[in-house]
Structure 1
Amino acid sequence: MSWMAWTWPTALFFAVIALLLVIFTVIGVKRPETPRVGILRIETTRGDRLFISLLGAAFINLIWLGMAGAPVWGGLILSFVWAAAVFRWV
């Protein structure tokens, strides 16, 4: 796997995604959820909201990188705010 140029931030990113999937699976098994309707007027579950959060975070960080440059801490903070809003209102 030397062609992938794994770095610690890359490995940490994928480890966090995998950990989130495991945590959400365990929560889903222990506490099943009925879908709810939020401001998007579509039924969503925890997994749907996680997917929307991750997809939005990817776009937020790409826009941040394109407009502000290399230190992406601001984009990361905006991504956490986005995820909190998605889990609260979507």
Structure 2
Amino acid sequence: MSFDFSWMAWTWPTVIFFVVIACLLLGMGVWEYARPGGAPKVGLLRFETTRGDRLFISLLGSAFIHLGWLGLVDASLWWATGLSVIYAILVFRFV
């Protein structure tokens, strides 16, 4: 059986994107194994969030940051990535 992925646009940025997502999920799994529970906390949104919730909020917000960047700004997409990392740090810290 042979898999033909020629129809997909597998560029290096696409591969890096999926590898980073996989590493984030793996890292969260290791973190949960090392320190189970992750005590939910109440942050700026005023409802309990767990580590997984904050990761999801970070990923969703980063997607919107990148889409907005692509639609509104002509600068390099790496700036949006840097902004997304800062956003994720703030979400994990304050949400």
Q: AA paired with 1:27? A: W
Q: AA paired with 1:7? A: T
Distance in structure 2 (CA, Å) of the matches to 1:84 and 1:18: 18
Q: AA paired with 1:39? A: L
Q: How many residue pairs end up in the alignment? A: 90
Output the aligned Cα RMSD: 1.1
Q: Which residue of 2 aligns with 1:72?
A: 77
Identity of aligned residues (%): 60
Which one has the bigger helix percentage?
1
Unaligned runs of 5+ in 2: none
Distance in structure 1 (CA, Å) of the matches to 2:75 and 2:18: 20
Tell me how far 1:69 sits from its aligned partner: 2.2
Q: Which residue of 2 aligns with 1:18?
A: 22
Please tell me whether Structure 1 or Structure 2 has the larger radius of gyration of its CA atoms: 2
Q: 1:5 to 1:63 in 2, by over 3 A?
A: same
TM-score normalised by the chain length of structure 1: 0.93
The answer on 1:6 being equivalent to 2:6 is: no
CA distances 1:7-43 after superposition (whole Å, capped 9, x unpaired): 1110111011001101100110110111111110111
Distance in structure 1 (CA, Å) of the matches to 2:66 and 2:93: 21
Q: Which runs of 4+ in 1 moved over 3 A?
A: none
Tell me how far 1:73 sits from its aligned partner: 2.1
CA distances 1:28-72 after superposition (whole Å, capped 9, x unpaired): 011011111111011111111111001000101111111112511
Q: AA paired with 1:65? A: L
Distance in structure 2 (CA, Å) of the matches to 1:28 and 1:43: 17
